[in-house]
Amino acid sequence: MVEVKNWRQMIDSSADLLARRTGVDLPTWNARVLDSDIADEPALRRWLSDQGVDGYAQMIVVMERFGYPDFMLADADELIDAQYADRVHLRPILDRLLLAAQDVGSVTAQARKSYVGLLTSRRQFAVIKASTRARVDLGLRLDAIEPHGRLQPARRLANDTINLRIELTTADEVDNDVVGWLSQAYDGSC
């Protein structure tokens, strides 16, 4: 099965990005922020923007100052257990999809607050989300493919790049067709 990582990877990569972009590491930025006497988040974001710090690099400095959301400090098992706490009968679908993902290529799985993202070294290509108490949605990034058959439009699964989804109610529905679409989404994101 694919190893599922938590937010620590994103925190570490954001800190690395900050250092690459600015030439200054996160502890030094933390000290600068404390020395600035900035008291609120909007003011800190403006100050960082003036310093040329934006995006994920800015986000990490802001969270270092004002605190991380609880879900970013949770480990992968805690995040997934929370997602399936009131729908344990759907957990085998996630497990089957993670098993299938290891066969499509070099996949990283990352547990988020409400879903598990599947990523190539380049970008996210799929999400697995217990969308209702009776269904797991496999969201896929399949550019230039229109909804048809089992492929339905994806709305609000993760982000706008996940454009299609397949509804799954049992692990047995993770068949060759589903694995084929998963593989195609992976190939298109490498």
Domain boundaries along the sequence of the chain: 7-72, 75-187
pTM for the complete prediction?
0.77
Q: Residue 38 and residue 29: Cα distance in Å, rounded?
A: 13
9-58 pLDDT, tens digit each: 778 888 999 999 999 999 999 999 999 989 899 999 999 999 999 988 99
Q: Which of 57, 54, 37, 34 is nearest to 46 (CA)?
A: 54
Q: How confident is the model at residue 1 (pLDDT cuts 50, 70, 90)?
A: low
pLDDT on residue 4: 76
Q: How confident is the model at residue 157 (pLDDT cuts 50, 70, 90)?
A: confident
Contacts of 63 (CB under 8 A, 6+ apart): 69, 72
Q: How confident is the model at residue 156 (pLDDT cuts 50, 70, 90)?
A: confident
Residue 89 CA, distance from chain mean position: 23
Distances (CA, A) of 119 to 63, 70, 103, 148: 24, 23, 14, 24
**Which one is the CATH code of 75-187: 3.90.1150, 2.70.98, 3.40.225, 3.40.50?**
3.90.1150
